[in-house]
Amino acid sequence: MKKITIGEAARRSGVKVPTIRYYESIGLLAEPERSEGNQRSYEPSHLHRLAFIRHARELGFEVEAIRTLLALQDDPNQSCASADAIAKARLIEVEQRIRSLTALRTELEVMVEGCGHGRVDRCRVIEVLADHGQCMHPHH
């Protein structure tokens, strides 16, 4: 029926060909059937799987978390507490990362704005890096 080559699967899912093979190698994507000439032959179910994986990766979930989420998806009777916990943990990570990057941004802005574009011995960028005491934020 609608058997699909790995290249076509890559085009449709937005996941690159070597990455698809990589996902198979780590057991994230089921091994597809092969053609007579040993070429992978995907079915729609594989495309759904790939879309799920891709989306989860874009949201920053680690491969192990995705493995768990996929297993949950396959067993619809299970409680979704695990999925919920994984998503919440990721949310907390993201929030923390945003806070941290926001502090960094402020510090970088100070460095860049303070730069008089002269010589290095008066460069605010180098100064701030050399002397942590000049930081605006005690975030690290």
Partner DNA sequence: CTACATCCTCTAGCGACTAGAGGTGCAAGA
Partner DNA sequence: TCTTGCACCTCTAGTCGCTAGAGGATGTAG
Give the binding site for a copy of itself (CB under 8 A).
48, 51-52, 55-56, 58-60, 69, 72-73, 75-81, 83-84, 86-88, 90-91, 94-95, 97-98, 101-102, 104-105, 107-109, 111-112, 115-123, 125-126, 128-130, 132, 140
Is residue 110 within 8 Å of 129, Cβ to Cβ?
Answer: no
Is residue 25 within 8 Å of 63, Cβ to Cβ?
Answer: no
Half-sphere exposure of 104 (CA within 13 A, CB side): 7
Q: Which is nearer to DNA, 14 or 84 (CB)?
A: 14
| Positive/negative CA dihedral, 8, 12, 15, 21 | negative
Is residue 31 within 8 Å of 24, Cβ to Cβ?
Answer: yes
- With CB under 5 to 8 Å by kind, the binding choice for 22 among a copy of itself, DNA, none is DNA
14 binds DNA (CB under 7 A): no
The tokens of 79 are what? Answer: 């409680």
- With CB under 5 to 8 Å by kind, the binding choice for 87 among a copy of itself, DNA, none is a copy of itself
**Stretch near DNA under the rule CB under 7 A, chosen from 10-18, 44-52, 81-89, 108-116:** 10-18
- Cα separation, 50 vs 56, in Å, equals 10
Minimal distance in Å, beta carbon 84 to DNA? 20
- With CB under 5 to 8 Å by kind, the binding choice for 118 among DNA, a copy of itself, none is a copy of itself
Is residue 130 within 8 Å of 111, Cβ to Cβ?
Answer: no
| Long-range interactions of 69-76: CB distance < 8 A, separation 24+ | 70/28
5 binds DNA (CB under 7 A): yes
3 binds DNA (CB under 7 A): no
